[in-house]
Chain A
């Protein structure tokens, strides 16, 4: 068991598809440090990867993605920020309907897998996503 202490881990990756794996593995390492279960770590990995993927697909003009992990006693807060012209977060789907759609599942998955999720979309500054996962002993 690792001691659960407050801290901040920051990572910047190029806003390109081949770098998403680096982001999800780095955040998984932080989550492991907080003694999350394997299942929770997988949830966090996927949520972070979906957030980065949204930046790559929708943040026009962003060269970088900034990922900040804040560890605390209760768990983990991850900020994912791009510097593009904004993602269409309003296109969130609540479920798969009778006719399946090819895209648009990413934000739905993030909301399903994390305990809290907040978006701040600013066309001038980019999109910022803050998501939290609580750890249970």
Chain B
């Protein structure tokens, strides 16, 4: 079980964090470190692509929430790309659909960034 993190710069100073694998109590620190490093470098508009994520638990959600809170302090935002119905369900149950912008593809998520 592992998580792969791929970070690339997109247009308009936004960054895409592409995750693939499973995000749980073991792997979420790696995701947290990657997002924290981006924010520490001054990048506050992020698209986090979860299309290749097969599983996420509450620690993974916590990392996403933590990242969102930090970028908001700088006037930025985090949009998510998520097409996996099981993961969408977790965002629905927890009410995080009201907190994050969640999109079906990266292009839409990029356009909707502040």
Contacting residues, chain A, for B98 (C-beta < 8 A): 96
With A105-B62, A109-B58 as known contacts, state yes or no: A17 contacts B25, CB within 8 Å.
yes
Chain B interface residues (CB < 8 Å from chain A): 1, 22, 24-26, 55, 57-59, 61-63, 65-66, 68-69, 86, 89-90, 93-96, 98-99
For B92, give the chain A residue with the smallest CB separation.
A112
Tell me the minimal C-beta distance from B2 to chain A in angstroms.
10
Contacting residues, chain B, for A57 (C-beta < 8 A): 25
Residue A95 lies at the interface, judged by CB distance under 8 Å to chain B: yes
Contacting residues, chain A, for B62 (C-beta < 8 A): 102-103, 105
| Docked-complex contact A109 and B90, CB < 8 angstroms | yes
| Docked-complex contact A102 and B26, CB < 8 angstroms | no
Contacting residues, chain A, for B61 (C-beta < 8 A): 105
Residue A53 lies at the interface, judged by CB distance under 8 Å to chain B: yes
Residue A100 lies at the interface, judged by CB distance under 8 Å to chain B: yes
Chain A interface residues (CB < 8 Å from chain B): 17-18, 20-21, 39, 42, 45-46, 49-50, 52-53, 56-57, 95-96, 100-106, 108-109, 112-113
Q: Is the interface of A mostly helix, strand, loop or mixed?
A: helix
For A16, give the chain B residue with the smallest CB separation.
B26
| Docked-complex contact A49 and B69, CB < 8 angstroms | no
For B61, give the chain A residue with the smallest CB separation.
A105
| Docked-complex contact B86 and A100, CB < 8 angstroms | no
A46–B96 CA distance with the chains assembled, in angstroms: 17
- Sample of 18 more A-B contacts, CB < 8 Å, known A52-B25, A109-B58: A17-B26, A20-B26, A21-B1, A39-B86, A39-B89, A42-B86, A46-B55, A46-B57, A46-B90, A49-B25, A57-B25, A96-B95, A100-B65, A100-B96, A102-B66, A103-B62, A104-B58, A105-B58
